[in-house]
Amino acid sequence: MTGSGAPRIAAISASRLYGGCALRYDGATEPQQPRAVAVETAINIVYGDAPYAVMMTTPADIEDFAIGFSLTEGVVERAEEIRGVEIGQRHDGYVVSVSLKPDALRRHMARRRNLSGRTSCGLCGVENLDQIRSASGRVRGAAIHASAFASALHALADRQPLFAETRATHAAAWCDGEGAVGLVREDVGRHNALDKMIGACLRAGISPASGFVLITSRCSFEMIEKAAIFGAATLVSVSAPTSLAIDRAKALGVTLVAVARNDGAIIFSGPAGE
């Protein structure tokens, strides 16, 4: 979906090597080999000629991020409303220009808001509660057997190369009904990782009713909203959920399985969790 006229950009690296000293708690230090550190950079999302958001992200899978972010932010209602994505590099980050079909652009300009991005925040720039993006209607999808969750958790460990290198990123994965891990996206921000995964699924034509989402981060309400807007009926989180995440999952019909470990998990919403 990247525009053919997109400017060429230098090769993007998601990690860099930094030196340092190993510190012992008795105060002693010793030299340490350079270690990989996750790259965090600014990405300016632009619709038409109007800047919309500056998000701090890992500069990998930028097009996936732009598409997933556009959907979960409510800028578009369907991926087909995006004409193309062009990525330009600047000394201080990237400018990502998303071209929308006329109707989508007019709708967006009517509800445009400013968003100052943070790595961990999902509501920066929201001026009042009415501006919070919310999924509408209950999600429908096939029930997933618990064994699929176990399979996905086991497989995901080997599908996070950036985390293995840096120990500093989150992952979001799309898994089929049997627990086979398909698309995986990583980022320093948990929301960004999920948006990237959603964008990748949209580009690949994957039906959200055909499987479930697996995330390695804690599950706040925005993660439920994003999954529901995408159309995923089941979300599995390695970490714990918040109270609002559970409430929104129940209201939207999302099966929420969290604190997922190799030996089991907790169902907070869905079958046996209501």
Bridge partners, 18 (sequence order): 35
* pLDDT (0 to 100) of residue 111: 78
* Summary mean pLDDT of the chain: 89
Q: Are 205 and 73 in contact (CB under 8 A)?
A: no
121 is catalytic: yes
* pLDDT (0 to 100) of residue 147: 96
Its pTM stands at 0.90
Domain boundaries, the chain: 41-131, 146-269
CATH architecture group of domain 41-131: Roll (3.10)
* pLDDT (0 to 100) of residue 123: 52
Domain 41-131 and domain 146-269, same fold? Reply is: no
Cα–Cα distances (Å) from 215 to 56, 61, 117, in that order, read 19, 17, 21
Q: Are 203 and 183 in contact (CB under 8 A)?
A: no
Among candidates 213, 191, 192, which has minimal Cα distance to 201? 213
CATH 3.40.710.10: does it fit domain 146-269?
no
* pLDDT (0 to 100) of residue 127: 47
Confidence band, pLDDT 50/70/90 cuts, at residue 271:
confident
- Of 121, 124, 175, 219, which one is the catalytic site residue? 121
